[in-house]
Amino acid sequence: MLKNLIINRKFLKQLDFGLIITALIISLFGVMNIYSCTYKSYGVYYLEHQLVWILLGLIVMYLIISIDYSLFGSYSKIIYGLGIISLLFVDVFGNIAGGARSWVGIGSRGIQPSEFMKIAAIILVAKMINDFEGKINVPKNLIKLIGVVLLPMVLIVIQPDMGMTMVFFFIFLGVFYAAGLDSKVILGGFLATVIVILILWKSGVLQIYQMGRIFGFLNPDQYELTYAYQATQSQIGIGSGGILGKGFLKGTYVSSGFIPEISTDYIYAVVGEEWGLLGGLGLIFFYGLLIFKMINIGKSSKDLFGQMMVTGVITTFLFLILQNIGMTIGIMPVTGVTLPFMSYGGSSILTSFISIGIVLNVGMRRKKINF
């Protein structure tokens, strides 16, 4: 059993250590910022827990790359099925946090199954596209793919977690586009989505606070003290950092409790105040390097299955980065999505490292190894 977990040296030569180092740099920078905005109230509690999650993430990432990714395809339906069961469980028995029943656990500790469902859906969709030989525009094939994506989205809407629903939509929009989906179908999908949103808006399914986020985004001055409060406070904190920032542990605004969810959803506000514009751009540079390396691995994949899995991971990271940073600086509406490797939380950290593990796995096995 243990022998199966030992990676062959020939595979290790193909491993992109630069991708791992980049992910670790972002993660450790995240730990610094999490500590900075929580130490006054909680000491080293958040710092210690985040370091534990990073360590577990590295272990899980190693386990992921030690298994030939073709096995993920073989068990894709089982993985997806387990994900659906977990979402059904959450819809019935989950804990409510941030207005959504999206967590399962004991007390304040738990996991968010929808985070892991993203990966399960990416694997199954990638396997199906591979089995369809890339013929995504065949109506029968497209309907099956849409069904696989819509089922978890519906279960997530029920929670209701509109932020994660958006994540799912844009992940698979990117995957389908990369797979060659007809532009007319994509346009039709956008129009259908707009119609669905309007129906949800009028049906009463959306919570008041969710509708308020849109009001706050469209008219922040009017709702500065209500729906736009978080975004407004975040922008004030980031703006106070100027070009160079106030310095590590010197961010008086972000460490004083003015910004809710500062260690999770609004961690970029800490970066802006303490590290300034240069620090924020530096973080974006490392994210760009992360995406660039994953794109190169995806291009060199030996099969369509691997390429589509990497594409799913790339679109996940791209949307989360753009959405999270965008909402902290006021150019995107507020949603409860985290910033990969930066935000506090076990589910976010674990799924980020699992995703990187999948990409590394594809890259390691892009060439046939002759023994």
317-347 pLDDT, tens digit per residue, is 999 999 999 999 988 888 878 999 999 998 9
pTM: 0.91
Residue 342 · residue 286 · CB < 8 Å: no
Whole-number pLDDT of residue 209: 65
Helices within the chain (DSSP H only): 9-12, 17-42, 45-65, 70-74, 76-93, 113-131, 139-158, 162-178, 183-203, 208-218, 229-240, 267-299, 304-328, 346-364
Does residue 371 carry a pLDDT above 50? no
pLDDT given at position 9: 77
Residue 235 makes CB contacts below 8 A (sequence gap 6+) with: 328, 329, 330
**Residue that wins the pLDDT comparison between 96 and 164:** 164
Q: What is the pLDDT of residue 101?
A: 59
Is the confidence at residue 369, as pLDDT, over 60?
A: no
Give per-residue pLDDT as tens, 25-68: 999 999 999 999 999 989 999 999 999 999 999 999 999 999 99
pLDDT digits (tens, 9 = 90+) for 99-148: 555 666 555 566 788 899 999 999 999 999 999 999 999 999 999 999 99
Q: Is the pLDDT of residue 167 over 80?
A: yes
Closest CA to 241 of 328, 324, 318: 328
Q: How far is CA 302 from CA 23, 79, 306, 308, in A?
A: 24, 23, 7, 11
Q: What is the per-residue DSSP string for 11-65?
A: HHTT--HHHHHHHHHHHHHHHHHHHHHHHHHHTTHHHHHHHHHHHHHHHHHHHHH
Residue 252 Cα distances to 70, 140, 240, 247, 306, angstroms: 50, 57, 10, 10, 46
User: Which amino acid would we find at residue 227?
Assistant: Y
Mean pLDDT score of the chain? 87
